[in-house]
Amino acid sequence: MELKADGISRIFFRNGKNTNFFHAVKKTDFNLESGKITVIIGKSGSGKTTFINMLAGLLCPTEGKVLLDGQDLYEMDDAKRSRLRNVSFGIIPQGHTGLSSLTVLENVLSPVCMYESGKSKKEKALDLLKFLGIEELQEVYSDELSGGEQRRMSIARALIGNPQIIIADEPTGDLDDESTIKVLDLLKKYAINGAAVLIVTHDDIAVKYADYLYKMDNGNLAVSS
């Protein structure tokens, strides 16, 4: 699958000194390559989450297009875009986004239950939870988890559907080094199997996994050496 950004930018309305808008991401072209890990680093507030949310079909760019295999994500209606995102994308959002009324296992299975029975995926969900070291928490409600446990649950949830495109916003933010390496090894495995993996991080360990490294600086994305 090919994910491409064609001249995307994003303005937010926000009162400043002389203006009432703010250019969070300046005009950017970008290609996400299958089978590789692409990492974006950059200071807090530089525009990383804004940029990857546009790529993930979650935030409409102010200008430009996001093309998945040539199809403009934002020309589709909501239902089609949601379905495509559910099938093709594994998204690990920044922050904690588990549904508190569901158990860990139910949270992990929730993306596949949306359009098909999750039963066939239960084994895979348990394998992912085991690999991530939280198998024993499968029946626990997500709001009873620690930050790092919630993070690992979100990672399992993002990977359950075997996505071709994985977009991870600080996936190792709450994790110790051992768990960080586990998560990055897992993402690497998906890349080796052909997925395009995009990681936003402040983590030096994650940077070592990058096939391609970019830096976001004040809304400008550039290749980093």
Ligand X SMILES: Nc1ncnc2c1ncn2[C@@H]1O[C@H](COP(=O)(O)OP(=O)(O)OP(=O)(O)O)[C@@H](O)[C@H]1O
Site residues (vs ligand X, CB under 6 A): 12, 14, 24, 42, 44-50, 94
Q: Does residue 172 interact with Mg ion by CB under 5 A?
A: no
Query: Which residue lies nearer to ligand X by CB, 54 or 166?
Result: 54
> Which one of ligand X, Mg ion, none interacts with residue 50, CB within 5 to 8 A by kind?
ligand X
- As measured in angstroms, the least distance from the Cβ of 198 to ligand X is 13
Query: Which residue lies nearer to ligand X by CB, 15 or 225?
Result: 15
Pairing of strands 220-223, 165-169: unpaired
Distance CA 71, CA 109 (A): 28
Q: Does residue 154 interact with Mg ion by CB under 5 A?
A: no
> Which one of ligand X, Mg ion, none interacts with residue 147, CB within 5 to 8 A by kind?
none
Query: Which residue lies nearer to ligand X by CB, 38 or 46?
Result: 46
E strand or H helix that includes residue 103? none
- Alpha-carbon separation of residue 2 from 30, 44, 52, 162, 188 (angstroms): 11, 28, 15, 16, 18
- As measured in angstroms, the least distance from the Cβ of 23 to ligand X is 9
Contact code string over 30-49 relative to Mg ion, x by CB under 5 A: -------------------x
Distance CA 191, CA 87 (A): 17
- As measured in angstroms, the least distance from the Cβ of 17 to ligand X is 14
Helices and strands, counts by H and E, the chain: 7, 10
* Structural tokens at position 181: 């390496």
Distance CA 42, CA 133 (A): 29
> Which one of Mg ion, ligand X, none interacts with residue 118, CB within 5 to 8 A by kind?
none
Alpha-helical regions (H) of the chain: 48-55, 78-88, 104-113, 122-131, 147-159, 177-192, 204-207
Query: Which residue lies nearer to ligand X by CB, 106 or 170?
Result: 170
- As measured in angstroms, the least distance from the Cβ of 118 to ligand X is 31
Residues 72-101 that bind Mg ion (CB under 5 A): 94
Query: Which residue lies nearer to Mg ion by CB, 43 or 130?
Result: 43
Distance CA 132, CA 153 (A): 8
Residues near Mg ion, by CB under 5 A: 49, 94
